[in-house]
Amino acid sequence: MTNKTVAVLGLGLFGASVAKTLARHDVEVIAMDKKMERVDEVAMHVEHTIQGDFTKLEHLEAADIGQADIAVVASGERLEEAILCVLNLKKIGVAQVICKTKNRDYHDVLKKVGADRVLLPEVEMGKRLGNELARHSVIDALRIDDRYNLVEVHPLKEWENKSIQALNLRQEYGFNIVALKCCVNNEFIINVSPDYIIRDGDLLFVLVEEKDLDRFNDMEDNN
């Protein structure tokens, strides 16, 4: 991600959070909003900030938004504005457009006009909190592409006190461990040893195909 440019259009709570987080990870960000006070607040964290109307083609072109690899339309309350923005972003050649909306009914419309991904943050956060409170193993899932998800997983009870090698998670569940957060010292481990012993409270980050994730979720729901 660090060699890509991301345009964040709309700097309310959601958009400002996305822009600042990307900047902290050294991603080049172009942040735009109609309101100067929002632009000024983000300007302390993001190098490229512009006051402008992201529903207008000429404003997007003037800000070089067409050079962005990804655009996040972070203000999705008004459908007509989101549609105009998506259409214009595609017109100037932005390869990937991600839209945020609060309305489920807008999802299909935004997809049809060219949005590559439509987010419902309140729904996604609700799922995450519900899973965490219920101790459902899968806390959160980030869809990487049409095939793979990056997933945060609490260990199943039967995994505890066993080594990763003994569990053979890749063969049993299709889970490829990319990182692990140890519950003992809160250490984040990137190169996870096959001899690592899983404990209650650990958190696994795994890459898994959509079909295998569905199978795992069905298995848990039926237990």
Query: What is the average pLDDT across 34-62?
Result: 94
Q: What is the percentage of the chain residues whose pLDDT exceeds 70?
A: 86
Q: What is the percentage of the chain residues whose pLDDT exceeds 90?
A: 48
Residue with tokens 């980030």: 142
Report residue 184's pLDDT band, with 50, 70 and 90 as the boundaries.
confident
For residue 114, give the nearest of 130, 92, 144, 147 by alpha carbon: 92
Q: How far apart are CA 38 and CA 19, in angstroms?
A: 12
Task: Supply the mean pLDDT for the chain.
Answer: 85
8 Å CB contact between 204 and 182: no
Query: What is the average pLDDT across 22-51?
Result: 92
pLDDT of 135: 45
Q: What is the dihedral of CA 204, 209, 210, 215, to 10 degrees?
A: -70
Q: Quick check: pTM over 0.95?
A: no
Please indicate whether residue 33 or residue 128 has the higher confidence score (pLDDT). 33
pLDDT of 163: 95
Which helix (H) or strand (E) segment holds residue 30: the answer is strand 28-33
Encode pLDDT of 194-217 as tens digits. Answer: 999 999 889 889 888 888 887 887
pLDDT of 33: 95
Encode pLDDT of 85-132 as tens digits. Answer: 999 999 999 999 999 887 778 888 999 999 998 887 776 666 555 555
Query: What is the average pLDDT across 122-146?
Result: 60
Please tell me what DSSP assigns to residue 184: T
